[in-house]
């Protein structure tokens, strides 16, 4: 909170990039009062009482719905999913949206008990999850230090993706492959490609090459590009508004039927769940892991998913169950 006050009152910033989550709850009343345009990476932070908070790059946790849809198509014999994720706000959102996605795709969720952030021994948790005989293991939005330990236990206890796969919001391959063989992760499904992927544009490739040259040896993740992607959206709004004024940029962005996103033109959505259309939704890539590297294998359209009444019904029921909405 002290940092937000300094940035706004002393440094006179006109826009902020944040991870989101618990920090949004602390800072947003102040930032909203001062009408500071804020870009976060967690869509579930969006609320009608936070009109200047937007998610313009990362569609978490919405893309879990699309992962489940893809898995059902790519692995038609996979009918049972276990979700293993922590019990904080981010983890619970991932569990809820993942569960809704699996249900909508005709996949039974056989395990979804959140674990405590204080957990250090994952053997009994993974044992309980594997006892339900899952074809799919989802680690939702588990943090890297947890994810690698979960996979280590799944591998040690003999689980293999025979009819299904592993899925998660993102990966820390350095941590994971220190615990399990690279080949064990083959076929794992997520949403964030490396930017040298041949499916992506030359602009993506240039960013990848520049980043690799500047930071050799550093691991790549979605966080590498998402804040830069947010700045690209902000620049688009500034050019449309002809001003850096926070309110004018916000209005210019919202007046645009489509806005350039790193993965293509995005449209505004969110009112039906979050109370305001402040989430920028593009066609989202689906990736599969091959030799510890994610590769784009498909694209999925959330607006099309949302257009099915049965999907909406399942989502609302599941979000209510997990107390994400009233």
Secondary element (H or E) of residue 318: helix 309-321
Q: How many domains is the chain built from? A: 2
In this structure, the answer to whether residues 31 and 11 fall within a common structural domain is: yes
Residue 88 belongs to domain with CATH number: 3.40.50.2300
Distance between CA atoms of residues 38 and 68, nearest Å: 30
Tokens of residue 123, six digits? 């053997």
- Whether residue 118 is predicted with pLDDT greater than 80 in this model: the reply is yes
Give the C-alpha separation, 279 to 276, whole Å. 8
User: Got the DSSP string for 144-181?
Assistant: HHHHHHHHHHHHHTT---SSS-EE-S---HHHHTTTS-
Q: Looking at residues 187-201, what average pLDDT do you find?
A: 93
Per-residue confidence band for 24, with pLDDT thresholds at 50, 70 and 90? confident
Residue 217 is assigned to a structural domain of this protein: no
Does 297 reside within a domain?
Answer: yes
Question: If DSSP codes are grouped into helix, strand and coil, which group holds residue 257?
Answer: coil
Tell whether 51 and 73 lie within a shared domain: no
Q: Which two tokens stand for residue 72?
A: 């059902």
Six-digit token string for 223: 């966080």
Specify the pTM.
Answer: 0.94
For residue 185, CA distances in Å to 168, 179, 189, 319 come to: 11, 11, 9, 30
Band of the pLDDT at 187, cuts 50, 70, 90? very high
Q: What's the pLDDT tens digit per position in 237-267?
A: 999 999 999 999 999 999 999 999 999 999 9
Residues 176-194, mean pLDDT to the nearest whole number: 94
Specify whether 88 is located in the same domain as 173: yes
Render pLDDT for 3-17 as a digit per residue (tens, 0 to 9).
889 989 899 999 999
Indicate if 106 and 181 belong to the same structural domain: yes
Same domain flag for 151 and 175: yes
In a domain, 207, yes or no: no
Residues 82-113 pLDDT 10s: 999 999 999 999 999 999 999 999 999 999 99
pLDDT grade for 326, boundaries at 50, 70 and 90 = confident
Residues 147 and 41 both lie in one domain? no
At 162-175, the pLDDT tens digits run 888 999 998 888 89
Query: What span, in angstroms and rounded, lies between the C-alpha atoms of 14 and 7?
Result: 9
**Pairwise pLDDT comparison (144 vs 52), residue with the higher score:** 52
Whole-number pLDDT of residue 54: 98
- As a whole number, mean pLDDT of residues 286-305 equals 95
pLDDT attached to residue 39:
97
In a domain, 205, yes or no: no
Antiparallel, parallel or unpaired: β 80-83 and 53-54 = unpaired
In this prediction, residue 246 carries a pLDDT of 97
Q: How far apart are CA 46 and CA 15, in angstroms?
A: 16
Residue 127 to residue 123: CA distance in whole angstroms: 6
On whether residue 209 sits in a domain, the answer given is: no
**Per-residue pLDDT averaged across 141-155, rounded?**
95
Judge if 44 and 180 occupy the same domain: no
Q: What is the pLDDT of residue 157?
A: 97
Full 3-state SS string of 24-50: HHHHHHHHHHCCCEEECCEHHHCCCCC
User: What average pLDDT does the structure give for the chain?
Assistant: 95
If asked whether residues 312 and 258 sit together in one domain, one would say: no
Contacts of 264 (CB under 8 A, 6+ apart): 282, 283
Residues 136 and 179 reside in one and the same domain: yes
Q: Residue 88 falls within a domain, yes or no?
A: yes
- Which residue, chain included where needed, has tokens 């794992």? 188
User: What is the Cα 308 distance to its own chain's centre?
Assistant: 22
> Do residues 171 and 124 both lie within one domain?
yes
Same domain, 179 and 293: yes
Whether the CA torsion 290, 293, 297, 299 is positive or negative: it is positive
Whether residue 166 lies inside any domain: the answer is yes
**What average pLDDT does the segment 147-158 reach?**
97
pLDDT in tens, 32-73: 999 999 999 999 999 999 999 999 999 999 999 999 999 999
Which residue range forms the structural domain that includes residue 77? 63-190+287-321
Residue 12 burial (10 A CB sphere; 0-12, 13-18, 19+) = exposed
* The token pair that represents 243 in the structure block: 């001003």
pLDDT confidence band for 222 (50 / 70 / 90) = confident
Return d(Cα 26, Cα 181) in angstroms, integer. 41
Is residue 199 in a domain? no
| Six token digits for residue 145 | 């230090």
Q: Are residues 176 and 162 in the same domain?
A: yes
Helix (H) or strand (E) segment spanning residue 261:
strand 259-261
Confidence of residue 31 (pLDDT cuts 50, 70, 90): very high
pLDDT of 284 reads 95
């Amino acid at each position: 909170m002290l940092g937000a006050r300094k940035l706004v009152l002393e440094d006179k910033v006109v826009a902020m990039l944040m991870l989101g989550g618990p920090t949004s709850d602390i800072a947003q009343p102040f930032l909203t009062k001062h009408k500071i345009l804020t870009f976060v990476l967690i869509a579930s932070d969006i609320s009608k009482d936070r009109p200047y908070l937007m998610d313009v790059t990362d569609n978490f946790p919405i893309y879990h719905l699309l992962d489940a849809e893809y898995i059902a198509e790519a692995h038609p014999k996979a009918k049972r999913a276990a979700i293993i994720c922590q019990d904080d706000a981010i983890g619970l959102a991932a569990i809820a949206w993942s569960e809704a996605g699996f249900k909508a795709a005709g996949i039974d969720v056989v395990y979804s008990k959140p674990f405590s952030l204080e957990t250090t021994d994952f053997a009994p948790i993974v044992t309980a999850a594997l006892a339900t005989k899952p074809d799919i293991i989802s680690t939702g939005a588990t943090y890297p230090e947890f994810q690698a330990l979960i996979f280590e236990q799944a591998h040690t206890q003999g689980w293999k993706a025979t009819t299904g796969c592993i899925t998660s919001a993102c990966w820390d391959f350095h941590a994971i492959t220190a615990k399990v063989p690279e080949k064990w992760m083959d076929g794992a499904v997520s949403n964030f490609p490396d930017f040298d992927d041949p499916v992506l544009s030359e602009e993506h490739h240039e960013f990848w090459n520049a980043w690799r040259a500047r930071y050799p040896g550093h691991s790549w993740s979605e966080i590498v590009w998402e804040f830069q992607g947010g700045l690209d959206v902000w620049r688009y709004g500034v050019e449309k508004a002809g001003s850096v004024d926070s309110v004018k940029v916000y209005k210019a962005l919202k007046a645009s039927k489509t806005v350039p996103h790193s993965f293509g033109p995005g449209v505004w959505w969110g009112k039906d769940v979050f109370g305001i259309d402040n989430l920028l939704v593009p066609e989202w890539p689906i990736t599969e892991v091959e030799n510890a590297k994610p590769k784009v294998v498909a694209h999925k359209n959330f607006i099309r998913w949302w257009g099915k009444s049965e999907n909406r019904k399942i989502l609302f029921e599941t979000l209510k169950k997990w107390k994400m909405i009233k």
